[in-house]
Amino acid sequence: MSSGPEPVKITFVPGFTVARSRRSLTKALHEIREKGLTVALVPTMGYLHEGHLSLVDVARRHADVVALSIFVNPLQFGEGEDLDRYPRDVERDVKLAMDRGVDLVFAPPREEMYPGGEPVVTVDPGALAERLCGKYRPGHFHGVVTVVAKLFGLVRPDVAVFGRKDYQQAVLIRRMVRDLNLPVEIQVGPLVREPDGLAMSSRNAYLSDEEREEAVGLFQALEAADAAFRAGEGSPEVLLDRARSVLASHPLVQLQYLELVDAETLEPLAEAREGAVLAAAAHLGSTRIIDNVILGAVGTDPRTRPDPEASEQGGGT
């Protein structure tokens, strides 16, 4: 018989809670709700970096209490993907979350999230999930929206915060909240980059030194296309060609897709316009990276810690 979730070693800090089970989460939330406090949730898969922690800052501005979840969700990994090797270090993550001002960490093992095994009833993300990344990762967004819906049910947050790097994910979650009338406000925090421009990601840890040096080429390609748009170019094909020409000098970056799409529908555009999303995915060896830029946007791609005011509100209730 299992003795329950493994303990996480932390230094006790008054007001900071680590919940490893649904029961302990419910107890902590009951105490918070009894005080009439609002809760913002930052869902993550752990192995935290500055991109995640910047979302904590956004959450803090929108609620009294910040909760952060850490769960590597098996439902969103396809066959042959990196579920088993996805980087994990819960104790490190708890320390980073505590230092950034998180009040409650929910870090359940798989059997706590899915006590009966894979759920029978799940959330269908619809046609939006079949575009961009969804074309190449069948079932991925089905798993994403299902676990997010489950987290919303467990935590019952007033606000939930997601990052712009996973742009398609944010669009789908906003749509789920809108279509299912879920009582949560969605905030989307800025995309945070390394000093050279590479979008921060837990999977960057997989990159070899040579791959890491080349990986920035994906952002440079998107940046070149955005610069052409700002200079007056309106043809999507010309913008995409501009990006591809930059990638030609980064042979290790194997492009999977590069598309200019509408910010809400994710449909390809016949004419470039301000606010459209230029999204891309690529492989460097066995590592897959994603990135995006918003055409004509100002101040949305910080190379360091993001501006405290640089968040965008998604559709809530």
Out of 52, 62, 140, 142, pick the active-site residue. Answer: 52
Half-sphere exposure of 119 (CA within 13 A, CB side): 19
To the query of whether residue 52 is one of the catalytic residues in this protein, the response is yes
Distance CA 186, CA 40 (A): 10
| Residue 275: how many other CB atoms lie within 10 Å | 11
Token readout for 86 is 């996805």
Residue count of the chain, please give it: 317
Distance CA 27, CA 17 (A): 11
Burial 45-56 (b: 16+ CB within 10 A, else e): bbbbbbbbbbbb
Cβ atoms of residues 231 and 296 within 8 Å: no
Distance CA 304, CA 295 (A): 20
Residues classed as catalytic: 52
